[in-house]
Amino acid sequence: MKGARITVKGPKGELSRDLNPDMKIKLSDGVLTVERPSDRPRHRSAHGLTRTLIQNMITGVSEGFTKALELQGVGYRAQIQGQNLVL
């Protein structure tokens, strides 16, 4: 962490992001904590967003994300051509 920038590294890569400078981010004993300066609505929403962005970064570099597509009905076809899905 440098100022309002956080970098997360894991087996699936590395992610960096500039975060809200009002939020205080602390790392102690392997636990990352996000603190807001006040209970004002602007700080409350920024607090939730910051926490979620960091959580998604950690999940992305450790486990990765997947999307599942389910085709239902008669006449739908899907083919994979290289790395593209052709419907």
Give the number of C-alpha atoms closer than 13 A to the C-alpha of residue 18, restricted to the C-beta side: 1
> Kind of pairing, strands 5-10 and 13-18?
antiparallel
Residue 70 has pLDDT above 60, yes or no: yes
Domain ranges of the chain: 1-87
Least confident of 12-16, 60-64, 69-73: 69-73
Predicted confidence (pLDDT) at residue 44 exceeds the cutoff of 90: yes
What is the per-residue pLDDT for 74?
83
For range 34-61, the mean pLDDT: 95
Q: What is the pLDDT of residue 2?
A: 55
Regarding the domain delimited by 1-87, which CATH topology (the fold level of the hierarchy) does it fall under? Outer Surface Protein A; domain 3 (3.90.930)
